Structure 1
Amino acid sequence: MEQMINYLLQFGNLNPTQIELIKSKATVKTTKKEVFYHEAGQIQREVIFLTEGIMRICYYNNSGVEITKYFIDENHFMADVYSLNTGIPSTEYAQAVTDCAYVVLSKRAMEELSMTIIGWDAIIAKVTAKGMADKVNRISVMLSEDATERYLKLLSDFPNLANRVPLSYLASYLGITQSSLSRIRRNIQ
């Protein structure tokens, strides 16, 4: 819980009473490795803050091939914002790559915090803007660099990720085959 509070404090001020209110609205949960936290077709009804582990966001393309869009690791919020805000079912899956622990804030709790804490909406807007900017930066790299450069960028930005995520997920994320990823890894050793 403290990890989430410390993260929020990077985006605005909260007094001790506000912090206790946030903690009272949050719950701590865990998910085992490979379990889907959220599936396509479901309406997102909560926001989570990952305190331990890695989740991946994926979807199935028109050919039925599973594609990894991106990974979320510790000290990051995760939510399908569009589904959460519109009530429209999500088109993506969120799966635990490792055993995960996270803090949950329901949509209702978020609304109550918005009505109670002055500045809450500004903090959440900044958190959301950072999350969106991070996502755009990841995607733009994927479009402009070759596979080796994308892998090196992944290692640079997420040094602990490569050793914690199965090669099949990394290859899917990088848009290459597992054999290509193995070859790239051998060549840069």
Structure 2
Amino acid sequence: MVSTLLFNNFNKYARITGSDFEQIEKVIVKRFVKKRRALLTEGEISRYIYFIEKGALRSYTTDKDGVEHVIQLAVEDHWIADLLSFITQAPGNVSIEAIEDSEVWLLPHHELDLLYDQVPALERYFRQLFQRAYVSLQQRLSSTVSQNAEERYRLIISDFPQIAARIPLIYIASYLGITPESLSRVRKQL
């Protein structure tokens, strides 16, 4: 049986009935992922979008020098994916890895398209989810060029207070676009 957390998440942006949820339960799959294990590797096609039931994940790209750049940090009650690859079904340049031992729900791309016809409210839900992801990305890009590291750190901590306690500082620094040493200085100033 699929979780109450997921059911409530769907109902944040759409009205998903019990019978709608039964349709979703037929195609969604639960997976346990050990810390540091990959759900998606650069170059693969993202065939799933992942809902985090328990744990923490990150998505990242790796530059030509082998340096990882964190794109997204996600914990319980959040979705994570390489949206470009997921939507286009083309090979992507994003990897997704568990930061902690995690439990995730995998919703397959091909099944999601079919579910849109069976559960129209689900299409509304994902439209809103993808719109919010786009807005979040724009806000992040804007803050990167208009705010200093301390302001960006304060923002992420105010939006996601559990991040500081659970996510290694190296990943937070990468997400903020600064070095771990710079993040340590910012944290000391606070």
Q: Return the TM-score normalized by structure 2.
A: 0.91
Q: Deviations over 1:140-173 (max 9, x none)?
A: 2222111111111121111110111112112212
Residue 124 (structure 1) aligns with: 126
Cα distance in 2 for partners of 1:154, 1:118 equals: 33
Q: Where in structure 2 are the equivalents of 1:99-118 lying within 5 Å?
A: 99-118=101-120
Give me the CA root mean square deviation.
1.5
Cα distance in 2 for partners of 1:14, 1:44 equals: 25
**Any unmatched runs of 5+ in structure 1?**
none
Q: Deviations over 1:35-65 (max 9, x none)?
A: 1111100001111111112211111123321
Cα distance in 1 for partners of 2:88, 2:155 equals: 34
Q: What SS class does the counterpart of residue 25 from structure 1 fall into?
A: coil
Cα distance in 2 for partners of 1:57, 1:176 equals: 17
Cα distance in 2 for partners of 1:87, 1:108 equals: 10
Contact 2:81 2:96 in 1 (8 A): no
Between the aligned residues of both structures, percent identity stands at 28
Residue 18 (structure 2) aligns with: 16
Cα distance in 1 for partners of 2:100, 2:141 equals: 23
Kindly tell me the number of residue pairs found equivalent between the two proteins: 188
Q: How far 1:8 sits from its partner (Å)? A: 1.0
Q: Paired residue for 1:4, among 3, 6, 13? A: 6
Q: Return the TM-score normalized by structure 1.
A: 0.92
Cα distance in 2 for partners of 1:179, 1:86 equals: 37
Q: Paired residue for 1:39, among 32, 38, 41? A: 41
In the alignment, structure 1 residue 60 sits paired with structure 2 residue 68: no
Residue 78 (structure 2) aligns with: 76
Q: What SS class does the counterpart of residue 166 from structure 2 fall into?
A: coil
Cα distance in 2 for partners of 1:147, 1:59 equals: 21
Question: Comparing 114-123 with 90-99, which one deviates more in the overlay?
Answer: 114-123
